[in-house]
Amino acid sequence: MSKSTSADRLVFVPLGGCGEIGMNLNLYGFGLPGREKWIIVDLGVTFGDASTPGVEVIMPDPAFITERAKDLLGIVLTHAHEDHMGAVATLWPQLRAPVYATPFTAYLMRDRLAEADLLDQVELHEIPLRGRFTLGAFDLELVTLTHSIPEPNGLIIRTPAGLILHTGDWKIDPNPLIGETIDAEALMAAGEEGVLAMVCDSTNVLSEGMAGSEADVREELIKLVGEQKGRVAVAAFASNVARLQTAVEAAEANNRAVCLVGRSMHRMMGAARHVGLFADARPFIDEEEAASMPKARVLYLCTGSQGEPRAALSRIASGTHRHVKLSSGDSVLFSSRVIPGNEKSIFALQNALAAKGVNIITERERHIHVSGHPCRDELRQMYAWARPRIAIPVHGERRHLVAHAKLARELQVAHGFAPRNGDMIELSSAGADLVDEVPSGRLHRDGSVLTPADDGSLRMRKKLAFGGVISMALAVDEKARLVSGPEVNFCGLPDPAHDDFAQAEDDLILSAERAFKSLDKAHRQNERAVEDVVQRAVRKTASGIWGKRPHVEVIVLPV
């Protein structure tokens, strides 16, 4: 436990983003133990996959800070990526704290809050680039960094216990094309002042060298678009505004008009223009106009690079998009990386496009993507600028955090701590001390409902998806006689090996009848007893027919 029980302390608590890439939720607390005042830095989401059927959005469980909401001073957003700000609108009613963001992020935040009917309730403060503001004992200064979205900020957090550098997402891009270069002077000044701890992005710690510059991608993309004869679609993350501008310039350099396809593209372009970007670009054309133009004169800028089933590119590939059609001789340029876990959906999308005769070009064939996160040489440079006493790696899987902590030791950082979600870490001149473990977890947005990740409904959904369902209905009168049924229904089960569903149905009904008749009169009048014995019998029979155990639902109807 903490050594400082009668003095103010500074603690860091990640509730998301450690042991995973995405879904960031970071807490800083200062004050007497148990009486701290808190700030949140970033509040993001991750996305569901095959292991979470029916769940598209996942976010960190904020229960620990929700219980301390009266001591929460504010929510500070470093930038506008979904994994850093996508949970704000959903979780804000539990937190009810003011939100702080720079103009680009604030523009998108207003859009999300309006969708949730919260715009008039949330106190949203727009902070200028390099702005400085105070929340209780926390003196916060924004530092301009480079990343794959406009206005990425690091935070210099000054407290009575010391200075924290929270990097957020970043890289070192000498020519970012959008926004300014990294503010090395501010980082070195913080180093001179004395950085107690640096809480730092770990995404690319396993990769040597540098992530690369957006300027190199622009040069290659202009050349590549010029080589294409048919329609061209560029698939990219809508939030990578530098890449969108690269695609626009590639189109203009090759006499192609740009058509935005996908809601996120339009939303992000609105935010970009709000902060003065794309002011000199030619007017974009709409989808109907693009459909009537010669193939060699159009460039579609599409969402859906990760194979998302409802995104624009998936609908184009399936032929269900209202206006955009691609065919033999057209090309799709995937100007994005494959996010681990999305391989199957991406390859299925690419196969659907290939079946139409569409040419597919990815970063494997041409240099049309660079990462927005620091590789090892960039991390070395950041440590040289900041010279922290403590290294706290975040934003990575466990292997990334461990490798980052090892790198920090090699760089002569005195102390390091690779945290897990829920760790409460006291930061002091003596180092990083684990003083508590607090509740952490995940919330699933299942339709319009938030449920804990361990909710039984998801376990049941997985079971149903794996084994199928058999329902068996019986009607029993007041004398404990079976007066109707059993009636059986199947869902999600294949034809039996002997290809005779009628025989399988008879076998299941017979097993249910025998189970019912095995009970004495008293137990036949007990619905729960009937359900249990029939369920066991039917499940055993089903296992013999299909070689697996489907879920069995027994319905007893008293008549």
Residue 366 lies in a domain: no
At 1 the pLDDT is 40
Enter the tokens of residue 483: 């007066």
> 189 and 41, same structural domain?
yes
**Same domain for 405 and 521?**
no
Q: Strand 232-235 to strand 195-201: parallel, antiparallel, or no bridges (unpaired)?
A: unpaired
User: What range does the domain containing 527 cover?
Assistant: 456-558
Give the per-residue pLDDT at 542: 87
* pLDDT of the residue at 209: 96
Distance between CA 444 and CA 458 in Å, rounded? 9
**Is residue 195 one of the residues assigned to a domain?**
yes
Q: Which of 409, 424, 449 is the last residue of a domain?
A: 449
Backbone angles phi, psi at 277, to 5 degrees: -85, 160
Q: Would you say residue 470 lies in a domain?
A: yes
Is residue 292 domain-resident?
yes
∠ CA 241-245-246 to the nearest 5 degrees?
115
Rounded distance between C-alpha atoms, residue 326 and residue 307, angstroms? 16
Q: How many domains does the chain have?
A: 3
Which of 236, 506, 252, 501 has its CA nearest to residue 372?
A: 236
- The enclosing domain of 202 has a CATH number of 3.60.15.10
Q: What is the pLDDT of residue 497?
A: 61
- The verdict on 434 and 494 lying in the same domain is no
Mark which of 403, 424, 449 sits at the end of a domain: 449
Q: State the CATH number of the domain containing residue 515.
A: 3.10.20.580
- CA angle at 407 for the pair 159 and 414, rounded to the nearest 5°: 45
Same-domain status, 219 and 203: no
For the chain, percent helix, then strand, then coil, each to nearest 5? 35, 25, 40
Q: Is residue 2 part of a domain?
A: no
Q: How far are the Cα atoms of 53, 58, 468, 469 from residue 465, in angstroms, in the given order? A: 9, 20, 6, 9
Q: Are residues 202 and 265 in the same domain?
A: no
* Cα gap 519→88, rounded to integer Å: 56
**Beta-bridge partners for 142:** 155
pLDDT at 500: 67
Q: At how many degrees (to 10) do helices 103-115 and 88-95 cross?
A: 80
Q: Is residue 3 part of a domain?
A: no
Q: Are residues 388 and 525 in the same domain?
A: no
Is 249 a member of any domain?
yes
Q: Examine the domain organization and report whether 498 and 554 are in the same domain.
A: yes
CATH code, domain carrying 329: 3.40.50.10710
Q: At 366, phi and psi to the nearest 5?
A: -140, 155
Separation of alpha carbons 110 and 114, rounded Å: 6
CA 381 to chain centre: 28
Query: Are 204 and 285 contained in the same domain?
Result: no
Same domain, yes or no, for 157 and 245?
no
What's residue 339's pLDDT?
80
Domain end (from 402, 426, 449): 449
Same domain, 192 and 236: no
- Return the axis-axis angle of helices 214-227 and 241-253, rounded to nearest 10°: 40
DSSP secondary structure letter of residue 181: P
Beta strand 57-60 with 442-446 is antiparallel
Residues 219 and 333 in one domain: yes
Tens-digit pLDDT string for the chain (559 aa):
444 456 999 999 999 999 998 899 999 999 999 999 999 999 999 887 666 766 778 899 999 999 999 999 999 999 999 999 999 999 999 999 999 999 999 999 999 999 999 999 999 999 999 999 999 999 999 999 999 999 999 999 999 999 999 999 999 999 998 889 999 999 999 999 999 999 999 999 999 999 999 999 999 999 999 999 999 999 999 989 989 999 999 999 999 999 999 999 999 998 999 888 888 889 999 999 999 999 999 999 999 999 888 899 999 999 999 999 999 999 999 999 888 778 888 999 999 999 999 999 999 999 999 999 999 999 999 999 999 999 999 999 999 999 999 999 999 999 999 999 999 999 999 999 999 999 999 998 877 777 777 776 666 666 666 778 888 888 888 888 888 878 888 887 777 765 566 788 888 888 888 888 888 888 888 888 888 988 999 888 888 888 888 888 888 888 7
Strand 25-31, strand 9-16: pairing: antiparallel
Distance CA 149, CA 239 (A): 6
Same domain, 197 and 241: no
pTM: 0.85
**Distance linking the first and last C-alpha atoms of the chain:** 63
CA–CA distance, 317 with 291 (Å, rounded to integer): 16
Q: Distance between CA 39 and CA 159 in Å, rounded?
A: 12
In a domain, residue 553? The reply is: yes
Cα–Cα dist 367/218, whole Å = 9
Q: What does the alpha-carbon distance between residue 102 and residue 344 come to, in Å, rounded to a whole number?
A: 36
